[in-house]
A and B are shown apart, each in its own frame.
Chain A
Amino acid sequence: MERYRVNLMLCGGTGCIASGSLKIKDALADEIKKRGLQNEISLTLTGCNGFCAQGPILIVHPDEIFYEKLTPDDIPYLVEEHFIKGRPVQKFMYKEPEKRAAVPTMNDIPFFKYQVLRALRNKGLIDPENIEDYIARDGYMAAAKALLEMTPEEIIKEVKESGLRGRGGAGFPTGLKWELCARVQADQKYILCNGDEGDPGAFMDRSIMEADPHVVLEGMIIGAKAIGANKGYIYVRAEYPLAVRRLQKAIDQAKEYGLLGENILNSGFSLDIEIYQGAGAFVCGEETALMRSIEGKRGMPIPRPPFPVVKGLWGKPTVLNNVETYANIPQIILNGAEWFRSLGTEKSTGTKVFALTGAVNNVGLIEVPMGIPLRTIIYDIGGGIKKGRKFKAVQLGGPSGGCIPESLLDTPVTYEDIVKTGAIVGSGGMVVMDDSNCMVNVARFFLEFTTEESCGKCPPCRIGTRVMLDKLIDITEGRGREGDIELLEDLAQDIIKTSLCGLGQTAPNPVLTTIRYFRDEYESHIYEGWCKAGVCRELSTFYIDAEKCKGCGVCAKACPQDAITGEKKKPHSIDQSLCIKCRTCYEKCKFGAVKVGPRDMFKEEMEEVEA
């Protein structure tokens, strides 16, 4: 391989492509050529770096200088200053939110500092479309070890001892699942990868498939050997076209290199892997539904037992693991179970990838050791709440999870501790909410989701979630009544107990946790006619606090109804008869002068005006 003086790693994840990284790539290539630096500087388009909101992101090796939010116009100056004159350019670096000081290197940025990369170890370091980059980072070493030096029993023992639990949500021990399937005698077995990442707010699996597709294949090869399967499918959402393309390319390259197909590495073991594109049904994340979908049918779950490890795809023993689970396997085989257990807790070992989004300053993809407190994730990695607002809750586990309040922020992130709060670790979506979010409305959002995505097979889920949703709509639109909260709690228990699959069994969680921790919000909606966050239009009145208003006029300018009037530098006011409660003024005011009052705040005055 040629040696370059400088290696440029430009992020080519979905987020950075959306913010224009392909244009940056062209601009860089042009500039490098123009200055005749082709032999000194290499340029690689990598997978997702993780710090998506700062894109397009460029990392300059060997010094690991981190540049963010680049535009094509910045490139000539950057090349001149940094790569020719050797002066890294401060103005393109990451700035700390408070101090505004530039942070030159990636590992000093708080967002990265607390992370430990295992599943994501290759992110931003390799070209995902080049198998040699992967091999250069010890890629396929674990597969070779498993195929040539280990028996299936030894592989299973290593994975079992590592304590690895399924990263898709339920946290079932991976080694045990493999063992159960390995024990079954059959002429045909299947190994499946679940890349049907359906939780809204989660994009971990997408990033792995886009940034490091070969690690998924390698994990599957090892799993296939352990259970004795020679056919595999990767089930990917059709909404992830880039992931599909890169995985396909990875499969083709692996075949070309003899790492997939007949008699891999002369071991006598054969495995063929195909991609199967999902068609947009959340329930297909459930294993039995996913298998029906691959069979070309409606993706509806079936009762278990028989479990898929005994009778799965086309009635044959089948193991299904999540993308992130597979991404952990090669490292366990190479470094051993003890190494894997060195991070995390007794029952939750290793690391977990989370998609941190919502109201925090730093959003993106993170990998942290299990057992890290939520507070560290939100305040140290996430950099605290945006615009200095107040933290209200963090939502974990998507539509199957729940909202965790401020008082429980010191909870360590492990499967067993998070369950105690009423939420679940889930696949790793972590959405932070501030005081401008209404928790009743959030519960309604998730119920809308599950109601729509319920496959309709079993009545508790199909009808139960609908009835719960109707109640939540009533409450958020001002028709809540005494007894509604109790009814919701009661119904939730029935749905949990009687639903056929995980979708229904967990659908009430967002409602139950919000009632548990934010009951006062439900009560103020029902009894006071007041959505204190100003989200539920029918239950809020926007008004300006004369004492706090500086008369800057920003709100008046932003108001689409021209409902705000006032002289400059004097308190403004809102004409209630014109206000459509769009919240724009509330969002725009920098002084917190726009307040939210209950629905009937100006009722008497309005009636007087009308009279």
Chain B
Amino acid sequence: MEGNILIVDDEEVVIKSCERILSPAGYNVKGATSGEEAINILQNGGFDLVITDLKMPGIDGMELIRWLRKNSPHAGIIVITGYPSQESIRDALQLGIIDYLPKPFSPELLLDITEKAMNTVKAKKIEEKPVEVKDVEAKIGEIMSAIGQNKGKPGALIPVLQQVQEILGYLPPTVQRIIAKELNLPVSEVHAVVSFYSFFTMKPKGKHNIRVCLGTACYVKRANEILGKLKEILGIEEGGITEDRKYSLETVRCLGACGLAPVVMVNHDTHGAVDPVKVGDIIKQYN
């Protein structure tokens, strides 16, 4: 079996023994003795699987898992734990780890679990890669007719982009190439326009798109606290989307509803006079 694995444990002996077992089986194994070191190595990508201890000084296992979920969502995770407390395992499982290894473990168990995890990661990779391609293929008819309607008109590009984004929700590179070809424009020009206007996005939107107004009137009424609270609740940054594609979060400059400041828009609903503390209640209405 092939694949790149990173072992993270503050006891060097654990790393060494894992390496001794996994390398002969065909895996490419590296080690890190702290969460900090692991993040440093992982930043460059290229790992299929991370096997990590939970209890470590500094950045611990849970923090590393959270970092991985955000920055390297394709990597599979296995947790090693000396004290398999129900609580910590449950938390880790909720963050989407594949499996866990209670210490001490036998070489056979390590090999079994690693193989199983590696298969899961690879299967997911094949399935996940062409999401944007799949999205575009599903709606290609509508997209082509939107392009067709505007073809030949002067200044057709922006209306085409607006309509396609309405259909697809976002403008991934695949669709930009199609538009360029159909309108007989260089791809660079299409991309230049997409990246210039804030209305266009290359990231998919969630089922519920949340827009926080940061206009002056909203700002002086604590809109930035609303934004902070939403980031905390959803666990995503501005422009981000939750893993289940349910919520996406963005900011806008002014929705022109200043009389109701501070304003939050969810999909097409405008919510006025939002209390930063209670913004979670608004989100709960959308499922």
Q: How far is the CA of A239 from the CA of B156 in the complex (A)?
A: 20
- Nearest 10 Cβ contacts at the A-B interface: A52-B259, A200-B215, A280-B199, A279-B197, A18-B270, A201-B216, A296-B155, A203-B256, A357-B217, A296-B157
Shortest B219–chain A CB gap in Å is: 5
B54 at the interface (CB under 8 A from A): no
A202 touches B256 (CB 8 A): yes
- Given A279-B162, A560-B277, 9 more A-B residue pairs with CB atoms under 8 Å apart are A18-B263, A51-B259, A200-B214, A277-B158, A279-B158, A279-B161, A298-B193, A357-B217, A363-B261
Chain A residue nearest in CB terms to B219: A445
Give chain A residues whose Cβ lies under 8 Å from the Cβ of B123.
none
> How many whole Å from B162's CB to the nearest CB in chain A?
6
The reply to whether A18 and B220 form a contact with Cβ atoms under 8 Å apart is no
- Mark B residues whose CB is within 8 Å of A: 154-159, 161-162, 189, 192-193, 196-200, 214-217, 219-220, 222, 225, 252-261, 263, 268-272, 277
Q: B272–A201 contact, CB under 8 A?
A: no
Q: Is A224 an interface residue (CB 8 A)?
A: no
Asked if B254 and A201 sit within 8 Å, CB to CB, the answer is yes
Residues of B with C-beta under 8 A to A449: 253
**Is B259 a contact of A279 with CB atoms below 8 Å?**
no
Q: Across the interface, do A314 and B257 meet the contact criterion of CB distance under 8 Å?
A: no
Among B154, B219, B256, the residue within 8 A (CB) of A14 is B256
Q: How many A-B residue pairs have CB under 8 A?
A: 142
- Can you list 18 residue pairs at the A/B interface with Cβ under 8 Å? A14-B256, A15-B259, A18-B257, A18-B269, A201-B215, A239-B255, A240-B256, A241-B268, A276-B159, A279-B161, A281-B197, A299-B197, A357-B217, A357-B261, A365-B259, A429-B258, A431-B217, A431-B258
User: Which residue numbers of A lie inside 8 Å of B, CB to CB?
Assistant: 14-15, 17-19, 51-53, 55, 197-203, 206, 238-241, 276-282, 293-299, 314, 355, 357-359, 363-365, 395, 398, 429, 431, 433, 437, 442, 445-446, 449, 453, 455, 558, 560, 582-584
Contact indicator B158/A201 (Cβ below 8 Å): no
Which B residues lie within 8 Å of A296 (CB)?
154-158, 193
Give every chain B residue within 8 A of A298 (Cβ-Cβ). 192-193, 196
Contact, CB under 8 Å: A314 / B256: no
A445–B158 touching, CB < 8 Å? no
Are A431 and B199 in contact, CB atoms less than 8 angstroms apart? no
How far does the Cβ of B24 sit from chain A's closest Cβ, in whole Å?
Answer: 52
Contact partners of A19 in chain B: CB under 8 A = 260, 272
Q: How far is the CB of A54 from chain B (nearest CB, A)?
A: 9
Residue of B nearest to A362 (CB): B259
Contact of A363 among B196, B258, B270 (CB under 8 A): B258
Min CB distance, B211 to chain A, in Å?
A: 9
Q: Chain A contacts of B159 at CB under 8 A? A: 276-277
Chain A residues whose CB sits within 8 angstroms of the CB of B154 once the complex forms? 295-296, 314
Question: Is the CB–CB distance between A358 and B220 below 8 Å?
Answer: yes
Q: Within the assembled complex, what's the spacing in Å between the Cα atoms of A558 and B278? A: 12
Contacts of B155 in A (CB 8 A): 276, 294-296
Nearest Cβ in chain A — how far from B280, in angstroms?
A: 12
B200 A279 Cβ-Cβ under 8 A: yes
**Across-interface contacts of A52 in B (CB, < 8 A):** 257-260
